[in-house]
Amino acid sequence: MVQYAIVGCGHIANKHVEAIEAAEGAKLSAVCDRDPRRLEPFAAKGIHSFTDMERMITSVTVDVVNICTPSGLHAPLAIQAANAGKHVVVEKPMALTLKDADAILQACERNGVQLAVVHPNRFRPVMKALRQRVDEGAFGSFSHANATVRWNRNQEYYNQAPWRGSRAMDGGVLMNQAIHNLDLMLWLMGDVEEVSAYQATRFRQIEAEDVSVSVLRFASGALGVIEAAVTLYPRNLEESLALFGETGTAVVSGPTANWIQTWKFADQTDEDSEQTIHRIHEDPQGLPGHSAIIRDMTAAVREGRRPVVNGEDGRKALELVIACQRAAELGRPVRLSELRRDVNQGGAS
């Protein structure tokens, strides 16, 4: 059995618990949280419970540590786990700076452990179908893409926990809400070279932005648009991803980007497209994303291979968020090579 431990027993930890319990060959052996009250349900089930991570990883047999804390705490805890020889699953975003992300990657490489970043939306049936079409060259050359997150996070949501909406622990709408969609865009479209952006804090009484709009130029020459907001009234409206090529158009939408809105390709008949749409609509969720992440990590540990969604993938999504934020702050286009140069020179990007 691959033994798992969870650090941070807030809301998102529940998905990790369910995923570990459902995965063959995986077992939840320990949990850790600074608040003893959050540990009570686990202790009642006989799961080893700790308020100190160092004590946990030295007292209980653990193979993988899942980091489920507020985002600003991901880096030090992931590094601590890696230095103890534990494989790491870290929630998105893997860190809030590229310097911290690189420190995690280096710690995992130095200690010979695997690193998975929780970007579970890649495992949705519609996204796997979309990736297959990209790999088959069905779009031809891309002209542009659009990633949209139009959600509602009201003031009550931010008031529930002091870290929400802060720059040091949350990072804003792109970092905390939209980063999954950005990961998908990069996974399907390839690397981004340059970004221009605007961002604002319009309605929520928070430190970070609640709305952001960015324009991208990909390395391929294609263009892109990112619109992300938590200001929608009165509830979540949509999350969508649209890809446009010379021989294909696909728009995936719905409240959480599970459904096909448009599916047209030069190499497919309308009947072929309708069959794909019907198949996706019959089971839009598929295997829950966190379950896919845990199953893959369990197999990666056993087989000595990298996870499907690895640390480099997590860093790319983080890099794009930071590029958008910097472009908005500076009021000019930002090339991603600037961020890389800054990190190489010891900056804190």
**Residues 238-274 pLDDT 10s:** 999 999 999 999 999 999 999 999 999 999 999 999 9
**Residues 264-320 pLDDT 10s:** 999 999 999 999 999 999 999 999 999 999 999 999 999 999 999 999 999 999 999
Confidence at 107, pLDDT banded by 50, 70, 90: very high
Confidence at 345, pLDDT banded by 50, 70, 90: confident
Q: What is the CA radius of gyration of the chain?
A: 20
The neighbouring-strand residues paired with 4 are 28, 64
**DSSP letters for 138-190:** TT-SEEEEEEEEE-B--HHHHHT-TTTT-TTTT--HIIIIIHHHHHHHHHHH-
What is the CATH code of the structural domain delimited by 2-120+290-307? 3.40.50.720
How far, in Å, CA of 59 to CA of 53, rounded?
10
Residue 272's contacts (CB-CB under 8 Å, 6 or more residues apart) are: none
CB atoms within 10 A of CB 309: 27
Confidence at 132, pLDDT banded by 50, 70, 90: very high
pLDDT at 348 over 70: no
Determine the pLDDT at residue 256: 94
Q: Where are the domains of the chain?
A: 2-120+290-307, 125-285
CATH superfamily of 125-285: Dihydrodipicolinate Reductase; domain 2 (3.30.360.10)
**Residues 71-89 pLDDT 10s:** 999 999 999 999 999 999 9
pLDDT at 203 over 90: yes
What Cα–Cα distance (Å) separates residue 62 from each residue in 4, 47, 138? 6, 12, 44
Determine the pLDDT at residue 349: 74
| % of the chain exceeding 70 in pLDDT | 99
- Tell me the average pLDDT of the chain: 97
